[in-house]
Each structure stands twice: as C-alpha cells, then as structure tokens.
Amino acid sequence: MSRLVWELRRAQWRLGIVGALAILLIGAAAVIALVQILPLHNDIAAREADLDARAAKLKLPPPPSPDQAVAPFSAEQRYFIFLHSLHAIAAKNGISLPQITYQLAAPDKDSSLRRYVVETTFAATYLQFRVFLSELRTMPGLRCERLTIARPNIGVTQLDVHLQCAFLVEASK
C-alpha cells in the first residue's frame, strides 16, 4: 500500500499541474462516455431495430390500381393509391412529374362521390405522352378534364404538357 502511495506522489511530482489536469480531463471524458454516449448509442440501436421491424411489415406494395382496393379502403386511401399509380405509370414511361398539384374539390351535398383534382406540368416526347395518356385512360374513376400541349420550337421533339385530371371515388357514409 505504501508503495502505491509513493508511486502516486512520484507521478504527481513528474506530471505537475498540467499532467494532473490532463488526467482529470481524460477521467471526465470517460465519465461522459459512460453516462451520455453509451445510453444514446443503445437508444439509436433500439430505434433502428424498431424501424426495421416496421419496414418489414410494409413489404406489400399498394394495389396497382384504385379499383382493386375496394372493401377496407376509404376514399382518401383509394386516392393515395391512385396517386401512386399515376407516378408509377409516369416513371414506367420515362416521364418525370416535377410539378404536380393535388386538391379535393368542393363536394356536392347530394352526391356520395368525392372529386380530387390533379394538375401537372411535364415534358415528354410525343410517343411517351401517347403511351402515358393511353395507360391513364384505363384507370377507373379518372377523367382528363384539360390538356394543353405546346412545342416551343418546331425543331424540338419535346412537348410541354399541362394536364388536369379529376379522380372520382365513392365516399363511404
């Protein structure tokens, strides 16, 4: 025991005040690591495990079209499935929809239908646009209301398209 005390006094004499402060800082860093960093690391690991478990439950993609989502889905859920289908059809045809507006139209008091308006502007070639529009027409409940096609230069094959569609779905009462 006396040897340990003698070694500590010798280390204090050799290190001086700066060495003693360095040892205190290293000790404080170790305490902070034990008190703050390790519990935070464990919390992050637990959250990642929970997120992975929740992501594993979401393996089923939404139905390919809104009319296949019938019984347990509400009108809003069928509308979101329609939006997923719209973007999937656009991506399949190589069309990017950089600007798109979604809104719920004012409902009629007598009607049980909900009308959602989708308005988008995009650029596409003529062939991409034709295939995109023909696939959109097969979707039940979709109506193309307004279509504006412009070609800014006669030598350019890209079309500037402005499309306004309405999606009608029956709301549950």
Q: Could you tell me where in the chain the CATH 3.30.70.60 domains are found?
A: 66-170
At residue 1, the pLDDT reads: 80
- 38: tokens are 């390790």
At residue 62, the pLDDT reads: 56
pLDDT exceeds cutoff 90 at 5 = no
| CA angle (31, 36, 38) in 5-degree steps | 95
Sheet containing 99-104, strands listed edge to edge, beginning at the edge strand earlier in sequence: 99-104, 113-125, 158-170, 142-150
Output the CATH code of domain 66-170: 3.30.70.60
- 164: tokens are 């306004």
- Is the separation of the CB atoms in 143 and 166 below 8 Å? yes
Angle, helices 126-137 vs 75-92, to 10°: value is 150
Predicted confidence (pLDDT) per residue in 22-68, tens digit: 888 999 999 988 888 888 889 999 999 998 888 877 766 555 555 55
Does the pTM of the predicted model rise above 0.75?
Answer: no
Predicted confidence (pLDDT) per residue in 66-90, tens digit: 555 445 567 777 888 888 888 888 8
Predicted confidence (pLDDT) per residue in 106-161, tens digit: 777 777 788 889 999 999 998 999 999 998 888 888 888 999 999 888 888 888 99
What amino acid is encoded at 51 in this protein? L
101 or 61, which is more confident?
101
pLDDT band with cut points at 50, 70 and 90 for residue 162: very high
The radius of gyration of the chain's CA atoms, rounded to the nearest angstrom, is 32
Can you tell me which residue has the tokens 């779905």? 169
**Chain-wide mean pLDDT for the chain?**
83
